[in-house]
Amino acid sequence: AQSVTQPDIHITVSEGASLELRCNYSYGATPYLFWYVQSPGQGLQLLLKYFSGDTLVQGIKGFEAEFKRSQSSFNLRKPSVHWSDAAEYFCAVDPSGGYQKVTFGIGTKLQVIP
Amino acid sequence: SAVISQKPSRDICQRGTSLTIQCQVDSQVTMMFWYRQQPGQSLTLIATANQGSEATYESGFVIDKFPISRPNLTFSTLTVSNMSPEDSSIYLCSVRGRLQGFDNEQFFGPGTRLTVL
């Protein structure tokens, strides 16, 4: 079955430490890939997206993600986490290449400790 | 990016009543969607709102419970009918395919936080 998997439900990191959030998908072809962030009580904000081309994509707020076709992964990274990064992060996939709805992973809740 | 507004932003309703949520976009879009986010959960697609025709519902969601309208390319409504406490959720409007933007991003509204007592 087609799916989006975020294996880590909760992650806790210290402020200033590096961060990697995992996302795997299972679709036949390379889908469009997205990472969204949802701060407490807020709507969803797009961090970055991958459609094609360079497999390392830069996003807002210092985030980047790397698409690895061989691993069917699209992991989100940040070299140094700030306390304001505490939020829930959703990986999302559009298998159609831009013409259908986006399907979301279960989300990873990030806690940042001083 | 597309600017999406939703009304109301939150509401507290009694069981058995209905609530209509409005979604307005600042530009014409080809696709409009309604998602539900239950407490502590991810987003689940309810339906795709189709202009001028019946919405396309995902498995587990039916028109009698969640009637949807989309009279034009910038506006849609979702009604939550005959509410029960299990309908307490955040309901999000989402759009894709801006006619003037030529992009493939999917944008989300701020959500409507519904509590059913």
Question: What range defines the domain where residue B57 resides?
Answer: 4-100
Q: What is the pLDDT of residues B70-93, one digit of tens each?
A: 999 999 999 999 999 999 999 999
Domain layout of chain A by residue ranges: 3-113
Q: Could you tell me if residue B106 is inside a domain?
A: no
Q: Measure CB to CB from residue B48 to each of A36, A43, A101 and give the nearest one.
A: A101
What is the per-residue pLDDT for A105?
A: 93
Task: State the total domains in chain B.
Answer: 1
The single-letter DSSP state of residue B87 is G
**Which residues share a beta bridge with A52?**
none
Q: Could you tell me if residue B17 is inside a domain?
A: yes
> Which CATH number does the domain housing residue B36 bear?
2.60.40.10
Question: Mean pLDDT across the stretch B54-66?
Answer: 95
Q: Could you tell me if residue B94 is inside a domain?
A: yes
Q: Could you tell me if residue B115 is inside a domain?
A: no
The answer, yes or no, to whether residue A2 has pLDDT greater than 90, is no
Helix H, strand E, coil C: the string for chain A is CCEEECCCCEEEEECCCCEEECCEEECCCCCEEEEEEECCCCCEEEEEEECCCCCEEECHHHCEEEEEHHHCEEEEEECCCCHHHCEEEEEEEECCCCCCCCEECCCEEEEEEC
Does residue B86 sit in helix, strand or coil?
helix
Chain A residue set in contact with B, beta carbons under 8 Å: 32, 34, 36, 42-44, 46, 49, 51, 90, 92, 94, 98-99, 101-107
- In CATH terms, A3-113 corresponds, of 2.60.40.10, 2.40.30.10, 3.40.640.10, 1.10.490.10, to 2.60.40.10
Q: What is the pLDDT of residues A7-54, one digit of tens each?
A: 999 999 999 999 999 999 987 677 889 999 998 777 889 999 998 888
Q: Could you tell me if residue B25 is inside a domain?
A: yes
Q: What is the pLDDT of residues A46-102, one digit of tens each?
A: 999 998 888 999 999 999 999 999 999 999 999 999 999 999 999 998 877 666 678
Q: How far is CA A40 from the centre of its chain?
A: 17
Does residue B101 sit in helix, strand or coil?
coil
Tokens of A84: 């304001």
Q: Give me Rg for the CA atoms of chain A.
A: 13
